[in-house]
Amino acid sequence: MAQLSTRQKLEILADAAKYDASCASSGTAKRNSSDGKGIGSTEGMGICHAYAPDGRCISLLKILLTNSCIFDCHYCINRRSSDVRRARFTAQEVVELTLNFYRRNYIEGLFLSSGIIASSDYTMEQMVEVARSLREDHDFRGYIHLKTIPDADPALLNLAGLYADRLSINVELPTDSGLKRLAPEKDGGRIEGAMGHLRGEIDDKIDAKRKYKSAPLFAPAGQSTQMIVGADAADDRAIIAKASSLYDRHKLRRVYYSAFSPIPSPSAVLPLKRPPLMREHRLYQSDWMIRFYGYDAREIAAATDAATGCLPLDIDPKLAWALNHRAAFPVDVNRAPREALLRVPGLGVKAVDRILMSRRHRRLRLDDVARLTTSIKKLRPFLVAADWRPVALIDRADLRARLAPPAKQLDLFT
């Protein structure tokens, strides 16, 4: 490997980390002050934004220790056979970089991942050393998220959890067959085994902390994972079922989705096109439905298209579910229980809580509900209010067409 400056390494290893969605920063405009006007930049190399467990948006230095890897996962730009410029930080370099960025107030923490150098244990040792040195040598109090390697010795995972706020292990693909085909050196059983191990450690340390104040914390922000969408043939039903089983079995805090994006010099087994980004968005909406709205994976599967097994792209999955379950509607905004109100398309958790508060004092009219939602049109067929009853609206054959956003004319040249 040629001698590279720290800046050159940062360029390569921050860019290589951008494929990891589990601390994603997206949706903002590119701005900087390099022309001498204004102050600040949204393009800090290697800096991304993530949400801390308390809901704050924090800036993280997001880098790989190295983009060299002994594995050859087809979908990964860092795979062994990929023709990319390689770089590698030492553990000490990552520590110094983190501290320098932190002292300048650029970041509030570190997100560290890595290709596999020599062996899973050796790589994990290096990553743990970064976190150890930050915490023990420098009393670093910022946020640390370590992407852990499922094949590494469980003792190393245990050490990682003592230093990091959050640990994550990428499940990568929703099915074992997809994993065998696209990441033949990975093993679904071992990945889930490592997640199960982390869950056990997290639970044990929570128990210990309840009994003894001095017991150490273990990954207090829990564990998360990431699944690639659209690199294999798995449909949304398979993805949602996998996510739901991971939440249940390993108490994950989050499942992140990353729409497969074609990489330079791709392997022949990969699709040529990326899936629509809207597919990733719909999966995130389904994730919210499971975590906050009380749906289970089977119910969300009922919102998918029978032929493709995927969620519709033109309407959100909650509306799709409601259209397929019209017998459950309309619900009375003045009498229905919280669970039923949460299923009304267009009503979010906050709106439902405010409805429950307000109706203690008076009967709510449609206008009262309209003030709590952005789309009263979407909601009207599904709700009864003091002055509103959707006579026959819910049974209309063209209800879906009336509620879906108008189709857009496609541009021939995009």
Q: Which is nearer to ligand SF4, 69 or 289 (CB)?
A: 69
Q: How far is the CB of 228 from ligand SF4 (least distance, A)?
A: 9
Phi-psi region of 387 (alpha: psi -120 to 50; beta: other; left: phi over 0): alpha
- Is the distance from CB of 223 to CB of 166 less than 8 angstroms? yes
- Per-residue binding string, ligand SF4, 147-186, x by CB under 6 A, is ------------------------------------x---
Pick the closest to residue 123 from 133, 109, 113 (CA basis). Answer: 113
Q: Which is nearer to ligand SF4, 67 or 286 (CB)?
A: 67
Pick the closest to residue 64 from 17, 21, 107, 110 (CA basis). Answer: 17
How many CB atoms are located within 10 Å of the residue 292 CB? 11
Q: How far is the CB of 96 from ligand SF4 (least distance, A)?
A: 24
Q: Which is nearer to ligand SF4, 97 or 228 (CB)?
A: 228
- Is the distance from CB of 303 to CB of 311 less than 8 angstroms? yes
Q: Which is nearer to ligand SF4, 91 or 179 (CB)?
A: 179
Q: Which is nearer to ligand SF4, 244 or 258 (CB)?
A: 258
Counting residues that bind ligand SF4 (by CB under 6 A) gives 9
Window 61 to 80, contacts with ligand SF4 (CB under 6 A) = 69, 71, 73, 76, 78-79
Residue type, 396: R
Q: Which is nearer to ligand SF4, 69 or 355 (CB)?
A: 69
Q: Which residue has the tokens 């990682």?
A: 160
Window 86 to 145, contacts with ligand SF4 (CB under 6 A) = 115-116
Q: Which is nearer to ligand SF4, 119 or 373 (CB)?
A: 119
Q: How far is the CB of 69 from ligand SF4 (least distance, A)?
A: 3
Q: How far is the CB of 263 from ligand SF4 (least distance, A)?
A: 10
Q: How far is the CB of 19 from ligand SF4 (least distance, A)?
A: 9
* Residue 188 makes contact with ligand SF4 by CB under 6 A: no
Using CB under 6 A, list all residues that contact ligand SF4: 69, 71, 73, 76, 78-79, 115-116, 183
